[in-house]
Amino acid sequence: MADALRFRDHPAADEPAVSLDAFLNQPEAASVRIEAGDDVRRLAPVLARTRLIEVDFPKFRDGRGFSSARILREMGYAGEIKATGDVLVDLVWFMRRCGFDSFAPDAPFDAADVEAALARYPYVYQPAADPPGSSWAVPIWKLRHG
């Protein structure tokens, strides 16, 4: 696997992520792997013990993982959400806005491309699950009206 790109300070979880069904049945587990068709709302009762949630993209055109990540943030989960699989650098900004804060793509990113992608858009038109404190957290309509 390529080197992960992370936007978190704390050490990465080092145990392997298990499937959603296994995770719900293993009270000691702290890392879970979400497949594209999984319902992340099933994690609600166990979020407190969850340190890492990997959301897999089987192909980059499968956009279910975007909803999964944003729902997790709406549920109050503040731990790491890692995008894995067929993740393209052109999606990184949208993923950051949905709450992803680490990336382990099948094909490694070019660091300069990541930087360019994240610096590309100065504003956003609508709220999402943006990183706290990021400039994206304030939609254009709020800038317009103060």
Partner 1 sequence: MYRYDQYDHAMVQARVEEFRDQTRRRLEGKLTDDQFKPLRLKNGLYLQLHAYMLRVAIPYGTLNTVQMRKLADIARRYDRGYGHFTTRQNIQYNWIKLEEAPDLLAELAEVEMHAIQTSGESIRNVSADQYAGAAADEIMDPRPWAEMIRQMTTFMPEFSYLPRKFKIAVIASAADRAALRWHDFAVRIVRNAAGEDGFEVYAGGGMGRTPFIAYRIREFLPTGQLLSYMQAVLRVWNRNARRDNIHKQRMKILVHELGEDEFRRQVEDEFASFVAMDEDFPQAEYDRIAAYFAPPPFETGLSTDINRVDPDFALWVDRQVVAHKAPGYAIVNISLKPVGGIPGDISADQMDLVADLAERFSFAEIRATHAQNLVLPHVRMADLHAVWTALDAAGLGDANLDLVTDIIACPGLDYCSLANARSIPLAQKLSERFADPARQADIGELKLKISGCINACGHHHAGNIGILGVDRKGSESYQLLLGGSGDEETSQAKIAGPGFDEDGIVDAIERTIEHYRTVRAPKERFIDTYRRVGMDGFKEAIYG
Binding site for partner 1 (CB under 8 A): 36, 39, 60-64, 66-67, 70, 74, 88, 90-91, 93-95, 97-98, 110, 113, 116, 120-128, 140-141, 143-145
| Least distance CB 142 / partner 1 (angstroms) | 9
| Rounded Cα–Cα distance for residues 137 and 135 (Å) | 5
* Residues in Cβ contact with 70 at an 8 Å cutoff, skipping those fewer than 6 apart: 98, 99, 128, 129
Nearer to partner 1, 78 or 140 (CB): 140
| Least distance CB 20 / partner 1 (angstroms) | 14
Nearer to partner 1, 16 or 142 (CB): 142
DSSP strand E in 1-146: where? 5-6, 18-19, 31-34, 52-57, 80-85, 102-105
